[in-house]
Amino acid sequence: MDEAVDVEALVAPVHTPQVSSNHTKIQSLVSPSTLRRKSADIRLVGCHSEVYEPCDDSFALVDALLADRVHLEEVQPSLCLELGCGSGYVITSLALMLGEGTGIQYLATDINSAAIEVTKKTLEAHGVHAEVILTDLVSGLDKRLAGTVDVLVVNPPYVPTSEEEVGGDGIAAAWAGGEHGRTVIDRILAIVDNLLSSKGWFYLVTLTANKPSEICLIMKQKGFASRIIVQRSTEEESLHVLKFWRDPLEITTDIGTSQPHLSSTWRFSRLAFWKNS
């Protein structure tokens, strides 16, 4: 259906170190160059001690969206949704990529109240808008969103932990994924079919430990085809950004042999954070 796109051939977002001093003043400056960007400027991203900062997994998801940007524009989405927006880096990047002049609506949710405020600041700093709602995934929004989401993006809590750690307060909610890191992911898989429009696309960040081939099989049984948009690896782990779309006749991606296989050495920040905590 889609042709493989080489992420490394694209102009990658600038991942400069986050500026912590005088951050409020920086957020108020929206330059013309910022408005022309196709991904969020890390220096303008809001920060809070209880909110997960953009790291390698966030960058991989945005790189996947950049790799698929031409296809995203062809779909002409009306509604884009991010579940678990955190700092707002991803939803802001998506709004910058696709623009707002075409009538696209952007919506972001998070269970962490601090993340809601940080996301709003990040959006404002970049001169773009999204509706940002405090809720658990789409709780209370099910009927409103049913069958209307054209682009769904999720960087979920994927680190394998005890079930007791899942859904905790503050920053822990951003990475604690329960057994195989699948507790929240499986909740998301259960609602995708109801959320997506007939032309909808779903982008999901996963670890090898999350059993992505099993995730693809679950989605295949729901009538979705899948492919890997980005894959990045370390000696310890491998991360995939998966894309799903409705196509009952399409053969589900085989994670072991699928193309494109885009690898690079990177620091696996969220996993390292969990191991060191």
pLDDT tens-digit profile of 51-79? 999 988 999 999 999 999 999 999 899 99
For residue 147, tell me if it sits in a domain: yes
What rounded mean pLDDT belongs to the chain? 80
Of the segments 26-30, 64-68, 254-258, which one has the largest average pLDDT value?
A: 64-68
pLDDT at 272: 44
Instruction: Identify which has the larger pLDDT, 6 or 111.
Output: 111
Domain that holds residue 220: 40-276
For residue 18, tell me if it sits in a domain: no
For residue 3, tell me if it sits in a domain: no
For residue 235, tell me if it sits in a domain: yes
Calculate helix-pair angle for 89-98, 113-126, nearest 10 degrees: 30
pLDDT, tens digit (0-9, with 9 covering 90-100), for 133-142: 999 999 999 9
In the chain, the number of structural domains is: 1
Instruction: Identify which has the larger pLDDT, 277 or 151.
Output: 151
For residue 208, tell me if it sits in a domain: yes
How far is the CA of 50 from the CAs of 46, 98, 138, 272, in angstroms?
12, 29, 21, 17
**DSSP β-bridge partners for residue 233:** 238, 265
Closest CA to 207 of 260, 134, 152, 271: 271
Average pLDDT for 251-256: 46
pLDDT, tens digit (0-9, with 9 covering 90-100), for 175-189: 788 999 999 999 999
pLDDT at 51: 94
For residue 13, tell me if it sits in a domain: no
**Quick one: DSSP state of residue 165?**
G
**Quick one: DSSP state of residue 81?**
E
d(CA 87, CA 48): 8
* Local confidence band at 7 (pLDDT 50, 70, 90 cut-offs): very low
CATH number of the domain enclosing 195? 3.40.50.150
For residue 210, tell me if it sits in a domain: yes
For residue 159, tell me if it sits in a domain: yes
Closest CA to 40 of 118, 98, 79, 96: 96
Who's near 31: CB < 8 A, 6+ residues apart? Answer: none
To which residue do tokens 């069958």 refer? 147
d(CA 121, CA 216): 35
